[in-house]
């Protein structure tokens, strides 16, 4: 346990001022790299060390679960780990889920599941189906976005304003969507916030309990809070009025998710007695990077005017690369990494490659694989979004919550257990369910479907399904979560489907299911019916950034958005082109354009020592090549901070023009022809076994099951495999 002296010694005067501003509302405007996380953790430690509060009277809201975990780890270092664990730290969504779990149980409400994005989308599709609306004319995505926006403004289905024909469609879908959520005991992401607010509204004594408990409330990344989160904070902070928010309006990049930059800009209006403290000294980046970032952001109008300062050295100029196409861009990035590592100047873990859209990772990945450089990809297809994982989770979800019809349908459509139950059957089930105003799952479980017009065989299949559901539910009181899960996988036919499969993708799927099972084991100390809901909450709320691995030595591939809050010695900002940064969807609108600029600013300021910026004149998009020009944002970086990189020299791997690229596969390779069962070695992935071979003219495409990295599909001509 540190003494107060020691805690404060590690801080500059601005930071000390923030840490010791104990009472009342405090706004900390913290520029990038100004030690904002440090201030937050040290302040919490200070409050505890000085006896202002017990750990469990402190609330800390962070943007990601990872940030919450790191905060707890740092507190554990500053204080005693057993003390630190009592601080409530988490995301808004996570904290609301926990509050609702506890309070709903106390009120005798039924348990709930959290519908993620994909579930929500499926639900919208089901509603469209029911209303006989064409999902091609009315994009489920767009409808869902409108519904979410409405929820964020607390507009009820009944009062949805109609100004266009599309609004009319939304207005029809929205009430059904809400009804179905309710019928399924399901909450979507927005509901976690709205239902918590509603709970506080309806039961003031519950709110008061939390107000009393949390004497000190901290909100990180306050610039990215939305209206509902703002209301939650306001409600909770009304108790002791000790609200400490930290943020940077210049780093507000989640407007599209209804984040409202005005929450931070108007903080002083909401809390007139608030102290405002600016942390403007940057400790992270070289003076060059700080100056460049400052010039970029200065062009924005919607901001608090200020200048970033640093005492760091000038450092290296920013390298700017004009590339012919996206392949050359990827090649240059990879070549640069290779050289710097080869010279012993850097390690792989020092590098991050940042891009605007997930799709851009593809050529970069390919180049990294070719060069044998290990990397980790953040974003893209996430573990919990994989098909087989969602199917397995659907099984667990209907076990915990038989009313969950979206999951039931998923099980019917995607597991052998649902064979013989098709669309027609589902439609008639829906009709019966609507008549009884009951979820299908409950009707099914309690065998109330005898009445409907189903033929003998279909009815039999449904009865088998219902029996399974009932038996699993009985078993949930007897078996551990993971034992029950294994049994469900067997009996639903998923094990048989994947375990003995030869298709490498299925082998992959089975591995993922095994991994899911081992994650579930962490909850085995609880009875299955308690452990599984907690596990499911986590599955719905963790993000990829939470899984980011700092220990292993590899290059990080990540979007600008996901990189917020992180830092790396060397950062590559790729695809800095009109249409990408700023994105074409934002170019029309001034406010959105400013957000794009902030995004670029966030990217720049992730770098500690070195920045490379690249753009390409031609880029593959949707399989066809299109022209692009450098981003307008580059014009804001003073020339003296830039260094134009020359043409790349031909090195380890050739530069392929678009025409050459299609011919690439035909290049004959003098290697051994691979056959199934051969043991091979790959520079990045290590040992593996060939599980599938596809002969191409002059080449082979093989699937290799690697011991440590799962199954990958590789082209022999590119992958540089050695046969053992």
Partner DNA sequence: AGCGCTCAGCTTTTT
Partner DNA sequence: GCTGAGCGCT
Which residues belong to the active site?
A: 36-37, 220-221, 251, 606
Q: How far is the CB of 651 from DNA (least distance, A)?
A: 26
* Closer residue to DNA (CB): 65 or 614: 65
Q: Is 608 helix (H, G, I), strand (E, B) or coil?
A: strand
Q: How far is the CB of 387 from DNA (least distance, A)?
A: 6
Pairing outcome for strands 722-723 and 679-682:
antiparallel
Residue 377, strand partner residues: 557
Kindly give the interhelix angle for 117-130 and 405-414, rounded to the nearest 10 degrees. 90
Q: How far is the CB of 305 from DNA (least distance, A)?
A: 25
Q: How far is the CB of 614 from DNA (least distance, A)?
A: 18
Q: How far is the CB of 189 from DNA (least distance, A)?
A: 4
Q: How far is the CB of 533 from DNA (least distance, A)?
A: 18
* Closer residue to DNA (CB): 356 or 682: 356
CA 86 to centroid of chain Cα atoms = 26
Contacts of 85 (CB under 8 A, 6+ apart): 55, 72, 76
Distance between CA atoms of residues 669 and 500, nearest Å: 33
Q: How far is the CB of 409 from DNA (least distance, A)?
A: 12
Distance between CA atoms of residues 150 and 339, nearest Å: 52
* Closer residue to DNA (CB): 259 or 396: 259
- From the CB of residue 391, how many other CB atoms can be counted at a distance below 10 Å? 21
Burial grade of 19 (CB within 10 A; 0-12, 13-18, 19 or more)? buried
Residue 61, strand partner residues: 90, 219
Distance between CA atoms of residues 51 and 545, nearest Å: 34
Q: How far is the CB of 128 from DNA (least distance, A)?
A: 8
Q: Is 43 helix (H, G, I), strand (E, B) or coil?
A: helix
Instruction: Give the residue from 690, 680, 689, 687 showing the smallest Cα distance to 721.
Output: 680
Q: How far is the CB of 98 from DNA (least distance, A)?
A: 13
* Closer residue to DNA (CB): 64 or 610: 64
Burial grade of 309 (CB within 10 A; 0-12, 13-18, 19 or more)? middle
* Closer residue to DNA (CB): 247 or 379: 379
List interacting residues with DNA (CB under 7 A).
63-64, 91-94, 116-117, 135-136, 139, 141, 189, 256-257, 356-359, 379, 387, 419-425, 458, 541, 543-546, 559, 561-562, 583-586, 621-624
Kindly give the interhelix angle for 361-371 and 326-342, rounded to the nearest 10 degrees. 40
CB 325 within 8 A of CB 658: yes
Distance between CA atoms of residues 329 and 575, nearest Å: 8
Q: How far is CA 609 from CA 317, 568, 635, in A?
A: 10, 8, 22
CB 279 within 8 A of CB 35: yes
CB 411 within 8 A of CB 417: yes
Distance between CA atoms of residues 124 and 143, nearest Å: 8
Structure tokens at 192: 């976690």
Distance between CA atoms of residues 198 and 196, nearest Å: 5
Q: How far is the CB of 358 from DNA (least distance, A)?
A: 4
* Closer residue to DNA (CB): 133 or 479: 133
DSSP labels for 241-278? --EEEEE-GGG---GGGTB-THHHHTHHHHSTT-EEEE
* Closer residue to DNA (CB): 68 or 281: 68
Contacts of 67 (CB under 8 A, 6+ apart): 37, 220, 565
- C-alpha dihedral, 595 to 599 to 601 to 606, nearest 10°: 150
Q: How far is the CB of 131 from DNA (least distance, A)?
A: 13
Report the alpha-carbon angle 202-205-210, nearest 5.
105
Structure tokens at 454: 């189903």
Structure tokens at 391: 């199917």
Q: Is 713 helix (H, G, I), strand (E, B) or coil?
A: strand
Distance between CA atoms of residues 10 and 587, nearest Å: 43
Report the alpha-carbon angle 265-271-272, nearest 5.
95
Q: How far is the CB of 540 from DNA (least distance, A)?
A: 8
Residue 559, strand partner residues: 355
CB 352 within 8 A of CB 473: no
């Amino acid at each position: 346990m540190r003494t107060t002296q020691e805690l404060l010694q590690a801080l500059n005067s601005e930071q000390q001022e923030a840490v010791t501003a104990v009472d009342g509302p405090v706004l900390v405007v913290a520029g990038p790299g100004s030690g904002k996380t440090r201030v937050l953790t040290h302040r919490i430690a200070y409050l505890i060390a000085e006896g202002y509060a017990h750990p469990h009277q402190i609330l800390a809201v962070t943007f990601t679960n990872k940030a919450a975990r790191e905060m707890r780890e740092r507190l554990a270092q500053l204080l005693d780990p057993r003390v630190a664990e009592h601080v409530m730290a988490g995301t808004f969504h996570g904290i609301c889920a926990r509050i609702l779990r506890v309070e709903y149980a106390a009120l005798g409400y039924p348990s709930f599941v959290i519908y993620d994005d994909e579930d929500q989308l499926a639900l919208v599709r089901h509603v469209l189906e029911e209303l006989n609306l064409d999902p091609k004319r009315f994009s489920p995505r767009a409808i869902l976005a409108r519904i979410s926006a409405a929820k964020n403004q607390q507009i009820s289905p009944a009062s949805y304003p109609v100004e266009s024909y599309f609004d009319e469609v939304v207005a029809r879908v929205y009430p059904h969507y809400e009804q179905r959520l309710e019928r399924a005991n399901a909450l979507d992401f927005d509901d976690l916030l709205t239902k918590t607010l509603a709970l506080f509204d309806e039961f003031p004594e519950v709110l008061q309990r939390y107000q009393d408990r949390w004497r000190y409330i901290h909100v990180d990344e306050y610039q990215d809070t939305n209206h509902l989160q703002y209301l939650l904070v306001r409600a909770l902070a009304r108790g002791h009025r000790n609200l400490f928010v930290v943020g940077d309006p210049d780093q507000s990049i989640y407007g599209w998710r209804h984040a409202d930059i005005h929450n931070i800009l108007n903080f002083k209006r909401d809390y007139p007695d608030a102290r405002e403290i600016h942390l403007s000294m940057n400790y992270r980046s070289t003076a060059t990077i700080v100056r460049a970032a400052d010039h970029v952001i200065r062009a924005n109008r919607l901001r608090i005017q200020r200048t970033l300062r640093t005492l760091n050295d000038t450092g290296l100029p920013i390298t700017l690369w004009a590339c012919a196409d996206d392949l050359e861009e990827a090649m240059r990035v990879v070549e640069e990494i290779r050289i710097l590592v080869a010279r012993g100047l850097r390690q792989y873990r020092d590098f991050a490659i940042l891009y605007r859209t997930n799709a851009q990772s593809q050529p970069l990945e390919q180049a990294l694989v070719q060069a044998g450089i290990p990397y980790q990809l953040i974003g893209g297809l996430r573990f919990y979004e994989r098909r087989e994982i969602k199917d397995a989770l659907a099984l667990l979800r209907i076990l915990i919550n038989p009313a969950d019809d979206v999951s039931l349908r998923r099980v019917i459509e995607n597991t052998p257990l649902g064979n013989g139950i098709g669309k027609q059957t589902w439609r008639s089930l829906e009709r019966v369910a609507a008549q009884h105003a009951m979820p299908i799952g409950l009707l099914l479980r309690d065998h109330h479907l005898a009445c409907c017009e189903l033929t003998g065989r279909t009815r039999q299949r449904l009865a088998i399904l219902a029996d399974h559901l009932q038996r699993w539910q009985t078993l949930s009181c007897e078996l551990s979560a993971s034992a029950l899960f294994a049994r469900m996988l067997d009996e639903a036919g998923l094990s048989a489907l994947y375990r003995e499969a030869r298709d490498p993708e299925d082998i992959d799927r089975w591995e993922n299911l095994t991994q899911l099972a081992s994650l579930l084991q962490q909850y085995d100390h609880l009875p299955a019916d308690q452990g599984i809901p907690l596990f499911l909450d986590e599955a719905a709320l963790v993000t990829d950034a939470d899984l980011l691995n700092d220990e292993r030595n590899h290059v990080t591939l990540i979007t600008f958005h996901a990189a917020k809050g992180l830092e790396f010695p060397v950062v590559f900002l790729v695809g800095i082109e009109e249409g990408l940064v700023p994105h074409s969807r934002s170019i029309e609108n001034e406010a959105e354009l400013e957000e794009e600029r902030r995004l670029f600013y966030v990217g720049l300021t992730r770098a500690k020592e070195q920045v490379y910026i690249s753009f390409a004149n031609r880029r593959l998009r949707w399989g066809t090549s299109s022209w692009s020009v450098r981003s307008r944002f580059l014009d804001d970086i003073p020339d003296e901070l830039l260094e134009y990189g020359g043409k790349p020299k031909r090195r380890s791997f050739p530069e392929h023009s678009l025409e050459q690229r299609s011919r690439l596969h035909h290049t004959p390779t003098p290697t051994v022809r691979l056959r199934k069962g051969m043991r091979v070695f790959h520079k990045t992935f290590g040992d593996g076994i060939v599980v599938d071979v596809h002969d191409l003219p002059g080449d082979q495409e093989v699937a290799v099951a690697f011991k440590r990295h799962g199954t990958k599909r590789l082209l022999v001509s590119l992958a540089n495999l050695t046969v053992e």
